[in-house]
Amino acid sequence: MVSLPPSIPGFPADDVVPVPGELLDAPIVAPPPPPPPPPVLAPVGWLLNAAGAGVQGRLFRDVLPWVPGMRTAVASGVATGNPSALSRLPYASRSGWHLLGQQQADGTWPAGWLSVPNGTTLTGVGTIPAYRRLLELGWDAESPALQSTRRALYRLLAEDLDPTVLAELRPPDDDEELVLHGRRQLREAAAAALAHAGYEADPRLRGAARRLVDRVHAFLRSPLAAKPWIRQGNQHVLHPDAAPPSFHLLAMLAHMPSFCSEQGEFMDRLFIWLTQPWPRQSAVQVIGDSVSDQPELALGDFLATRTALDSDIVSALAWLEIVARLGFVSRHEGWGRLLDRMLGDRDRHGVWTPPRSVVMPVHVPVWAWPAAPLFDAAWEDAQRGWSVDVTFRLVLTAQLAGRELLLG
């Protein structure tokens, strides 16, 4: 005989319901897991024939070694017949050398820290996007050019508040609150770049990552996270103490899997934050006596609909890659569905071609610009370059999301 709790309607606490003895002893059987998604066709042959050096190098480094049976072949150079040629492949990219030609003697680029150009030109790019772009092209982080930039990035991780370090982010009047905010923004962007370069184990990066995460975690645990908006004048703005995660912080975490595995509670809270609806208010925040635009803040689900994907495919693919690296795609039905939708837009050979609904953006945000199409715009056909790059990105994201790849 089993007494039902008083919280169940219709059964007072003193009611007793007979339960057969065999039900009490029956084991609890968990529902069967959902079937795994079907394998994703990876058109490796077509990519190797159609892609430029940047995509070819990334294919051998980031995709093929994780396909069963291919790791040994790639490591031994069987796939190319020349292991040394494989390591030199990324340096055949003309856009990479074009970027390198703009680098100054101290390892920085003259356009500042976080500037990005419009369109497909590379003129006017800042140091951090340029550094990450070379990494996206497959350049070795230990190459001399990137080593000189690395020293500048490690300085940005430090806690010094010298306003001259801010470059294009320096406020005209050196307002203390704006200087603090700008240094934090550069610290996050530099941490993302160094994590992207593979320096996760460096104690300087891990220490900076811990401080950045602790600040955001304190916000996500506070009541302010539920209502971060206040009214000022005729608009709603973020509270001065609000500390949502930035896209730079997400990019840093995406390339620090071991660090993320140590932050279980924070990662769960971060997932909840990133899956909430994106607010209708503009991303502006009270900083000191100013109200400043904060386009670098991730205020919720950046990719909630197919319309959002079609309106900026570069940022959408960058977002899907980040959340795939964080392990969130398999936990979020919407992102998995959008990935499946884009995979379904490919032809029977696995090649993506731009649908009419897709808009190729003129301006790409700073956090997504390094992952913009890797083809050499001045020397390659643009439509073919887009097909190559998006096809590669989809294969890479599917692999990061745990999908099985079927080579084609």
Tens-place pLDDT, residues 349-358: 999 988 776 7
- Check residues 92 and 47 and name the one with the higher pLDDT: 47
Question: What's the pTM?
Answer: 0.87
Res. 379 pLDDT band, cuts 50 70 90: low
pLDDT digits (tens, 9 = 90+) for 171-194: 888 888 999 999 999 999 999 999
Distances (CA, A) of 191 to 124, 185, 252: 22, 10, 6
In the predicted structure, residue 233 carries a pLDDT above the cut 90:
no
What is the percent of the chain with per-residue pLDDT over 90, rounded to a whole number?
Answer: 57
Q: Does position 3 have pLDDT exceeding 60, yes or no?
A: no
State the pairing for strand pair 405-407/40-42.
Answer: parallel
pLDDT at 4 (0 to 100): 44
State the chain's mean pLDDT as an integer. Answer: 86
pLDDT of residue 94: 87
Could you read off the pLDDT of 245-273 as tens digits, one per residue?
A: 999 999 999 999 999 999 999 999 999 99
Question: What is the residue-wise DSSP string for 219-256?
Answer: HHHSGGGT--EEEETTEEEE-TT--PPBHHHHHHHHT-
- Please tell me the predicted confidence (pLDDT) of residue 103: 95
**pLDDT over 90 at 22, yes or no:** no
Q: Has residue 10 got a pLDDT over 90?
A: no
- Percent residues over pLDDT 70 in the chain: 86
Among the listed residues 168, 163, 178, the one whose alpha carbon sits nearest the alpha carbon of residue 128: 168
Q: How far apart are CA 180 and CA 192, in angstroms?
A: 18
CB–CB of 335/308 below 8 Å? no
CA distance 291 to 294: 9
Q: Is the dihedral of CA 382, 388, 392, 398 positive or negative?
A: positive
Confidence of residue 369 (pLDDT cuts 50, 70, 90): very high
Grouping H, G, I as helix, E, B as strand and the rest as coil, residue 344 is helix
Assess contact for 21 and 13: CB atoms under 8 A: no
Lowest mean pLDDT: which of 3-7, 18-22, 27-31, 185-189? Answer: 3-7
| Single-letter code of the amino acid located at 173 | D
For residue 84, pLDDT beyond 50: yes
Encode pLDDT of 180-231 as tens digits. Answer: 999 999 999 999 999 999 999 999 999 999 999 999 999 999 999 999 999 9
pLDDT category of residue 30 using cuts at 50, 70 and 90? low
Q: Computed over its alpha carbons, how large is the radius of gyration of the chain?
A: 24
pLDDT at 95: 87
What pLDDT score was predicted for residue 157? 93
- In the predicted structure, residue 18 carries a pLDDT above the cut 60: no
Please check the confidence at residue 279 and state whether its pLDDT lies above 60: yes
Kindly write down the DSSP assignment for every residue of 284-342, as one continuous string.
EEEETTEEEE-TTB--S-S--SHHHHHH-HHHHHHHHHHHHHTT-GGG-HHHHHHHHHH
pLDDT at 2 over 50: no
